[in-house]
Structure 1
Amino acid sequence: MASSFAAHVLRGRWFMAYGSFLIMSSAGATYIFAIYSKDIKATLGYTQEQLNTVGFFKDVGANVGIHAGLIAEVTPPWLVLAVGAAMNLGGYLMLYLSVTGRVRARPPLWLVCLYIAVGANSQAFANTGALVTCVKNFPESRGVMLGLLKGFVGLSGAIFTQLYLAFYGPGGGGDTKPLILLVGWLPAAVSVAFLGTIRIISAPRPPAAARREYRAFCSFLYVSLALAAYLLVAIVLQKRFRFTRAEYVVSAAVVFAMLLLPLGIVLREEAALFKINNMPEAQADAPALSVVTAATKPAAVPASAGLLSALRPPPRGEDYTILQALVSVDMLLLFTATVFGVGGTLTAIDNMGQIGESLGYPQRSISTFVSLISIWNYLGRVAAGFGSEALLARYRIPRPLLVAAVLLLTVPGHLLIAFGVPGSLYAASVLVGFCFGAAYPMILAIISELFGLRYYSTLYNVGNVASPVGSYILNVRVAGRMYDREAARQGAVAAVAGKGVTCVGARCYRESFLVVAAVTVAAALVTLALAWRTRVFYAGDIYARFKKDGSTGVSGNGVGEEAVVDGRL
């Protein structure tokens, strides 16, 4: 009995979800770029525009995952995760060797951009392999699942910081290059550890199991909230007092222990399923798997009629093809809002190190800003995931309307950065982190709701492409250029040897973040237009198709899927 229960746990949906949580908690290395970007700028002698170009390619790698989605359409999730692990290790290892001078000659800018793009692209593979698989396995709880999984990604920045301090000692104003090495090997190791766990499980679920889902997700939420609270307290204490190496190790050990706590929830849920599945009446009533052996040959149609049919979209909520989704007005509106809304928050996150430096904050405070962004990023994601799901279920409030509200809430954070009010960067980091976190899971949930789950692996990554587009426009072309122009005006281009171009004062980012605030307001208006277009769709039961037989409703390609009867393999 013990061995059969262990096999049941290892092959179950909940252990698969737990593996995805751990993969996501190590997949957000791109969000701590602001901590080690100063070392990249100093050792390689970059201007701010050049450093922002590196940051842009980091965003490109992290978010351009259409190829990962297409691979996932025809291969099992474990292969997607394996490719991502290899890219993570290779890209960040080469970046580490370049920054530490362990290569023969200093690499050109394009090669550094390539290294970080390859390393960061592993995040797209991790999202596609783990997150998309979870959404397909829990379709009726997709908003909650996206909030939790993206929440763990948001926490990963603070988790990495604690592990870095434990492995390499107090950071303070010292060397952050070892952090690049850490983000190279750790996410790869976690993904490899769960290669055999992450897979699509196509099966009807027992009614009793379906009713327990939300309570189980709430339990995961409570554990993650406790972890976030601990990280917040640890960050504040580490800023207030100087910790020893041993104290950092103890703090990291507590974080590791709290990451193991959800395993208790997994065992509880799988024990309940195991009990249900082993009842005599459940075994007697287990439905047989049906196999479709015949198909009606479609009648021949003219080529022009076939093209029109291919472009004509089905009703919202049904499974769109990739082409139908790409040419739809809904996707155009959502993509535009993400470019300028989420792109603005990403600009603030990537520049937080230089913003703090220009305003005269010490290095320890800058590290605190990055950690605060990570914590509030997490809180925004879980709040949006659970909150938007509850508001949708109870009051039929369209998710696009909530996205518009979140984007408007971001504007005060951008204005605080623009005017450089003394001490305001703490509040700005909270607002930017929370709103960036809240917008993302809702946007990704909207894509799955409007265009279906059949090609979600690819469409999920189409939505993610919008972020690097916005990052290039607002980060490189606006913030980076305006920073360098102000630095040149101050005569600081050659001011300090070994530190690249440095700008001092509130004017360094004033004009650029006024622009960011303005386009964020425009993005909110675009999202309101999408909310108006989809108001009838969200007024109905958008999950009705998944409630008919209790199945996942995913008609995948069959690669890597496992058929389950009543939760049993």
Structure 2
Amino acid sequence: MATTASGSSGYVCCRFFLQVITGRWFMMFASFLIMACAGATYLFGVYSKDIKSTLGSDQSTLNLMSTFKDLGANVGVVSGLLAEETPTWFVLLVGALMNFTGYFMIWLAVTKTIATPKVWQMCAYICIGANSQNFANTGSLVTCVKNFPQSRGMMLGLMKGFVGLSGAIFTQIYYAIYGNDSKSLILLIGWFPAAISLVFVYNIRAMKISAHPNETKVLHEYLGIATVLALLIMALTIAQKKVPFSHTAYLFSGVAVCFIMFSPFFIAVREEFYTWRNREQLTAPIRLVDEAPTLPETEMKSEIEYESMETKEASASGCSSIFKPPKRGEDFSILQALFSIDMFLVFLGTFCGLGCSLTAADNLGQIGESLGYPHQAVSTVVSLLSIWN
């Protein structure tokens, strides 16, 4: 009897574990991790000095490479078109491959493991590596917005916030693993985001939308976690500037940052347990009736929205609808967006608004060098910029 009971308990645990890792909340947790690793372009100011010294180039050549970095980071049409025709796991897989290839080649060049590449080759490497960020954005952010359509505004803000924090997160992790070695930072940028995408490549997918009463509460908890993470990294950054940290201290700092990053996992387990418990209650013996079962109004609305969204996506995939965009607020296909006046206005505003800040961020390393700042001071400025970004 004891063996039967333990076997039954193990089966229930396995079923619950499977529900957790295939559920919406774990998918959201995985998406936040991917987005927290998708902002490596903010760290160019930290390792740009190594590229400059390796190539023996001047400031204009470095500016050319930063231009290709920004071009790769902001041209997301390719990833969008690929997401229209392929599953999400393939988009994330391509992004992971591009990320590792681009930054690994830069690391090989900076460490002089390979022959010094030409300028156009370095521009190609950094453009490929930076463009992988768009594949992570398209794969995880767009999927999360589809899976949480009633909270898309909060979801967008939170996920882009984690992207902004990624530069500061990377700084703490690379201090913990490699110490104050900016060349190793390039290697970390190459393998760490790719590994995260590969681990969760099958968890990020569009799911059937179902009503959940705690959705807004959970997003507020995520906002609290993001705020605590930002404040912790800011405190660590300032402390590391004021007080010399040993490698052990950096290791503890990195562990603390990673713990807070992974804390949403416990929220996912809690919400799936809530769903599991309610499902068990609903499957209790009930009186049979002849009438057809009716869904709650909120769930019926979600089912209708899900079906209508699938219908719109199917109808928008045809070439005949490119010049017939839907109403504002509804989903556009990639080609419909490219040929719409709304997208042109968004592009124009982004082009004018982001150019100055990107130029400043890309040249932080050279600004600090010209002012005589030590390398760690430049890392501190980059981390603070990433946090408040």
SS class of match (1:84): helix
User: Residue 185 of structure 1 aligns with which residue?
Assistant: 191
When normalised by structure 1's length, the TM-score is 0.59
CA distance in 1, matches of 2:176, 2:202: 30
Distance 2:165 2:294 in 1: 41
TM-superposed deviation, 1:140: 1.5
* AA matched with 1:248: Y
1:506-561 deviation per Cα after TM superposition (whole angstroms, max 9, x unaligned) = xxxxxxxxxxxxxxxxxxxxxxxxxxxxxxxxxxxxxxxxxxxxxxxxxxxxxxxx
Aligned CA distance change for structure 1 residues 87 and 321 (closer, same or farther; 3 Å):
closer
1:246 to 2:258 alignment: no
Match of 1:257 in 2: 259
Match of 1:60 in 2: 71
Paired residues for 1:265-280 under 5 Å: 265-280=267-282
Aligned to 1:131: 141
- Could you tell me whether the CA contact under 8 Å between 1:81 and 1:195 is conserved in 2? yes
Inter-partner Cα distance in structure 2 for 1:368 and 1:196: 36
Please give the alpha-carbon distance, in whole angstroms, between the structure 2 residues aligned to 1:118 and 1:7.
36
1:21 correspondence with 2:23? no
In the other structure, the counterpart of 1:85 is 96
One-letter code of the match for 1:186?
A: F
- Match runs of 1:125-524 below 5 Å: 125-169=135-179, 171=180, 175-203=181-209, 205-206=210-211, 209=212, 211-280=213-282, 285=293, 311-377=323-389
Structure 2 unpaired stretches of 5+? 1-11, 287-292, 312-318
Match of 1:117 in 2: 127
Shift of the alpha carbon at 1:3? Answer: 2.1
How many angstroms apart in 2 are the aligned matches of 1:134 and 1:189? 20
Displacement of 1:316: 1.6
Unaligned ranges ≥5, structure 1 = 296-305, 378-569
Alpha-carbon deviation of 1:281? 6.8
Cα drift, residue 359 of structure 1: 3.4
Amino acid at match of 2:206: I
What secondary structure does 1:311 align onto?
coil
Residue 282 of structure 1: how far off its partner (Å): 9.4
Q: Provide the rounded CA distance (Å) in 1 between the counterparts of 2:270 and 2:26.
A: 11
More deviation in 185-194 or 53-62?
Answer: 53-62
**Deviation per residue, 1:256-276 (Å, 9 max, x gap):** 111221111111211122222
**Taking structure 1 as reference, are residues 142 and 348 closer, same or farther at Cα in structure 2, changes over 3 Å only?**
same
Contact 2:81 2:334 in 1 (8 A): no
Contact 2:93 2:197 in 1 (8 A): yes
The answer as to whether partners of 1:276 and 1:282 remain within 8 angstroms in 2 is no
Task: Name the amino acid aligned to 2:205.
Answer: R
The letter for the 2-side match of 1:200 is: A
Tell me, yes or no, if structure 1 residue 9 matches structure 2 residue 20: yes
Q: Deviations over 1:151-178 (max 9, x none)?
A: 1111111111111111122x2xxx4111
State the identity as a percent: 51
- Give 1:328 deviation, angstroms: 2.8
Write the deviation string for residues 104-131 of structure 1: whole angstroms up to 9, x where unpaired.
Answer: x321100011111112222111111111
Question: Which AA in structure 1 matches 2:379?
Answer: S
**Corresponding residue for residue 9 of structure 2:** none
In structure 1, the partner of 2:44 is 33
TM-score (norm 2): 0.85
Secondary structure at the aligned position of 1:201 is classed as coil
> 1:158–1:318: structure 2 CA closer, same or farther, 3 Å change rule?
closer
Amino acid at match of 1:56: T
How many Å separate the matches in 1 of 2:185 and 2:177?
A: 9
Number of residues of Structure 1 aligned to a counterpart in Structure 2: 355
AA matched with 1:11: T
TM-superposed deviation, 1:350: 0.9
Three-state SS of the structure 2 residue aligned to 1:202 is coil
In the alignment, the residues of structure 2 paired with residue 268 and residue 310 of structure 1 have an alpha-carbon distance, to the nearest angstrom, of: 43
User: What is the RMSD of the two structures over their aligned residues, measured on CA atoms?
Assistant: 2.4
